[in-house]
Amino acid sequence: MKKNILFLFVITICRIGFSQPGHENELTIKGKVITVENGVEMPVPNAKLLWSEDEHMALSELDGTFEIHVLKLPDTLFVKMTGFKLASFIIADPSINYTINLQSGQMLNGVEVIGLNLGKSIDLMDPTNIETIGQDELRKAACCNLSESFETNASVDVNMTDAISGAKKIQMLGLDGIYTQIQYENIPMVRGLSSSFGLNYTPGTWVESIQITKGTGSVVNGYESMAGLINIELKQPENGESFYFNFYGNKFGRAEFNVHSAYRLNDKWGTMTFAHFSNYFTETDVNKDGFRDFPIGHVGAFMHRWNYVGKNYETKFGIKANYGDQLGGQMGYDPSSEPTILYRGVFKNEHVELFSKNGIFIKGRPQGSLGLIGQLEYHHMLTQFGNNSYEGTEKKAYFNGIYSDILGNTNHTYKTGLSFLYDDYVQNYNDSTFLKTEIVPGAFFEYTYNRLDKIIVVAGLRGDYHNLYGELFSPRLHAKWNINPKNALRISVGRGYRIPNPFADNVSYMASSRQWLVSPDFRPEDAISSGVTFTQKFMIGEEVSTFSVDYFYTHFNNQLIVDMDAHPNQLYIYSTSAVGFSHSLQVELMVKPIKGLELRAAYKYYNVQSTYQGKLHEMAFVPKFRALFNAGYTTRNKNGVLMQLETGLAKKDYLLLSVIR
């Protein structure tokens, strides 16, 4: 009898020890956390389970199952998960396998995200090195048109074309602005006859942001990008001011005003109107050379646009126009008193265009979409420098159709489409007339491989047929690698073409008395551009700072040369396949050591050479070294007003104080 009692005692002790490991009174509760959506049961992973009286906690597995220990029952089990209501159950029986059904929590109708409008930024995710200039950067200029919007930017150089017209042109990679493709919202903007004065007719207050890309751009945008691409995003009805008015005046007799207004008709339709007027009312001659520092006269610009956003279709269309009538030259020049012995400068521009952008989402193809871009344009210009007179008229029709979709999954995407350009020119220089009509149909295909946004490769091929010059083939490649989340290494290589307009592209040379000799057998300019860019972002406290370095090499297979050295009284313009190239190196550092303070410094090296009369020479008017320093401080006073103090060096010396509400 004693042996039987002892045996039963040992068995009981062993059963307790093996069935309750870790603690002599610990119990295990098992189950599954689920939710039901539209009648379908779905597991809820990573739900947090905890007791009311016990310290044990657990998380549900990927399939929703869980195991949680408890010292004693009954106890209340709580289940928490973001987006679901808090669930609580009284657990009394450890032998039951529990199923916990979480109910969706009360969801917000929307979330308002408030962020800073960065003045200048580089996206580490994009395969091309796109530098974005925001409104904070544009506000640093108290007055500006597009040509004056790059004063604090190191990638784009702005130069005065001549001392008579006051027109400004840009340079990228040490090359003239005619080699940079300039567009607004992917619609051609500054090209053809507008290449000399086109930047002066878009006020900075119209601009939402500017994207700058060095080297060749996407084949989707055409064959013309050689030194870079600048895309202007204008303000939209959905985010534009209901009413905006801006006025500026200075001691040199310049006055300008801008007004625009946006109106939302309903949740689908919106419209916006822009107007600009500027004038130099008085003559100024600060340097006492007898010539006007700025041409007097007025410039006007107008734009009216409509936006429609539907479920499967959206469109943007409108009209854009500008007009300029200015007089430069010697002080006292008045065209009403002609004939006169005074040197004159006459600059008239008339431009009007209709534009349309349409997006169609393909039913049954969630990632498929069709984009249609159209533009009709008329441009007339009259320019007189002394006795030299140039008049040109351009009529243009442009179309670009783009279809984009995926190949299997979102790691493989493509864009393909067709384009068409019709450009008719009538040009008169002194006593000579030049007629030209360009008809250029084209097709393109671009493939993008995206590996988790870390490695992105974009390969494109474009073919165009020019009625005057035959086939133009433009292969291009862009690649990006994020070595870590805070940096990006990019490479690019591609071929670009440009059809020269010898007179319109070189209007500033008409200010001299040289005789123009233009070769009639010039060919399209042809260049291969390659580059490498490295961008590193780092934190100083809570502020993001950026270091970037890039190198680009552009080699010309064929180039149009403006030769001023062959003869002192003549200007030769001709095509050459001789050696021509551009080396461009830029290093830039932007730091924010403390909140509100931004310091930016950049250094650039250019080596740009072309062959003149069989000899290789450095390009004139291209400085070999450039440096830029910019400091800005932003603070917020008790009334919520941002105060910006800016100072710049090297590109333009200025001190500007602006108040922005």
pLDDT tens across 62-93, in order? 888 999 988 888 888 999 888 788 888 888 88
The reply to whether 106 falls in a domain is no
Among 70, 101, 132, the domain boundary falls at 101
Q: How confident is the model at residue 282 (pLDDT cuts 50, 70, 90)?
A: confident
Q: What proportion of the chain, given as a percentage, has pLDDT over 90?
A: 44
CA gyration radius, the chain = 33
Residues 69 and 152 in one domain: no
Residues 78 and 172 in one domain: no
> How are beta strands 570-576 and 130-133 bridged, if at all?
unpaired
Q: What is the mean pLDDT of residues 641-651?
A: 40
Over residues 424-480, the pLDDT tens digits come to 999 999 988 899 999 999 999 999 999 878 899 999 999 999 999 999 999 999 999
Torsion of CA 492, 552, 487, 458, to 10 degrees: -10
Residues 135 and 76 in one domain: no
Of the CA atoms within 13 Å of residue 26, those in its CB half-sphere come to 14
Higher pLDDT, 653 or 265: 265
Over residues 537-577, the pLDDT tens digits come to 998 887 889 999 999 999 999 999 999 888 889 999 999 99
Over residues 598-630, the pLDDT tens digits come to 899 999 999 999 998 888 999 888 889 999 998
pLDDT of residue 494 exceeding 80, the answer is yes
At 45, which CATH number?
A: 2.60.40.1120
pLDDT of residue 36 exceeding 90, the answer is no
- Collect all residues with Cβ–Cβ distance below 8 Å to 275 and sequence separation of at least 6: 258, 259, 260, 300, 301, 302
Residues 374 and 310 in one domain: yes
Q: How confident is the model at residue 531 (pLDDT cuts 50, 70, 90)?
A: very high
Among 69, 101, 133, the domain boundary falls at 101
The reply to whether 518 falls in a domain is yes
The reply to whether 115 falls in a domain is no
pLDDT at 22: 44
pLDDT at 142: 58
Q: What is the mean pLDDT of residues 410-429?
A: 94
How far apart, in whole angstroms, are the C-alpha atoms of residue 124 and residue 453?
Answer: 9
How far apart, in whole angstroms, are the C-alpha atoms of residue 253 and residue 548?
Answer: 41
Residues 248 and 306 in one domain: yes
Tally of domains within the chain: 2
* Of the candidate ranges 114-123, 267-276, 325-334, the one whose mean pLDDT is the lowest: 114-123
The reply to whether 109 falls in a domain is no
- Collect all residues with Cβ–Cβ distance below 8 Å to 443 and sequence separation of at least 6: 416, 417, 418, 419, 462, 463, 464
Question: What is the residue-averaged pLDDT of the chain?
Answer: 85
Greatest mean pLDDT among 265-269, 361-365, 473-477 = 473-477
Higher pLDDT, 1 or 321: 321
The reply to whether 375 falls in a domain is yes
Residues 217 and 82 in one domain: no
Residues 434 and 301 in one domain: yes
* Of the candidate ranges 120-124, 169-173, 427-431, the one whose mean pLDDT is the lowest: 120-124
pLDDT at 141: 65
Torsion of CA 283, 284, 287, 293, to 10 degrees: -70
Q: Please give, one letter per residue, the 3-state secondary structure of 412-463.
A: EEEEEEEEEEEEEEEEEECCEEEEEEEEEEEEEEEEEEEECCCEEEEEEEEE
Q: Is the full-model pTM beyond 0.95?
A: no
pLDDT at 410: 82
Residues 32 and 126 in one domain: no
How far apart, in whole angstroms, are the C-alpha atoms of residue 181 and residue 413?
Answer: 25
The reply to whether 11 falls in a domain is no
User: Hey, CA dihedral for 469, 498, 346, 354, is it positive or negative?
Assistant: positive
pLDDT of residue 655 exceeding 80, the answer is no
Residues 133 and 64 in one domain: no
Residues 198 and 232 in one domain: yes
At 167, which CATH number?
A: 2.40.170.20
The reply to whether 9 falls in a domain is no
Kindly state the helix (H) or strand (E) to which residue 2 belongs, with its residue range: helix 2-19
Residues 86 and 171 in one domain: no
Residues 133 and 81 in one domain: no
pLDDT of residue 313 exceeding 80, the answer is yes
pLDDT at 661: 30
- In terms of residue numbers, what domain contains 88? 16-101
Among 101, 136, 159, the domain boundary falls at 101
The reply to whether 59 falls in a domain is yes
* Residues pairing with 207 in the sheet: 234
Q: How confident is the model at residue 118 (pLDDT cuts 50, 70, 90)?
A: low
Cβ atoms within 10 Å, residue 211? 17
